[in-house]
Amino acid sequence: MKPQPNNPLHGVTLETMIEYLVERLGYTEMARAINVNCFKFDPSVGSSLKFLRKVPWARVKVEELYLGVLCDELEQERRHEQVAALEQQPGLEPAQEPAKEQELDPPPTQELPPPQPRAPAIE
């Protein structure tokens, strides 16, 4: 088997994807994302595998959902790492909100031209 570094699904079985999605989302959210009965009525990994192996378009949807959830999770993890790194830098203080007593300057207003009269409707 050739290594496929640019294929995030390489080596990931359909069963692994379903178990991951069930753990993260649950069958209810999966059914909302992908409208198939195997996620709606008496869902199980086994019934899902049986259906998805027979229906290629549904399998593609599951793969897309898996990649989307995985990417969201990795992005969230990356953000947490960035915040943790910033918090460890000396001399940096968290942003402070302005005191409630302070008056904030209102945003500049732009004057609009006066409305133009409309021509009478022709019947």
CATH number at residue 53: 1.10.720.30
Q: Report d(CA 12, CA 54) in Å as an integer.
A: 18
Structural domain range at position 21:
14-87
Mean pLDDT of 102-123: 65
Q: What is residue 109's predicted lDDT score, i.e. its pLDDT?
A: 66
Determine what percent of the chain is predicted with pLDDT higher than 70. Answer: 72
Q: Report d(CA 62, CA 34) in Å as an integer.
A: 8
Q: Which two tokens stand for residue 112?
A: 């609009």
* Structural domain contains residue 68: yes
Using one digit for the tens of pLDDT, what is the confidence trace for 8-67? 888 889 999 999 999 999 999 999 999 999 999 999 999 999 999 999 999 999 999 999
Number of structural domains found in the chain? 1
* Structural domain contains residue 29: yes
Q: What is residue 80's predicted lDDT score, i.e. its pLDDT?
A: 85
* Structural domain contains residue 4: no
* Structural domain contains residue 9: no
Q: Report d(CA 78, CA 24) in Å as an integer.
A: 18
pTM of whole model > 0.85? no
Q: What integer best gives the mean pLDDT of the chain?
A: 82
C-alpha distances (whole Å) from 5 to each of 29, 43, 46 are 30, 33, 29
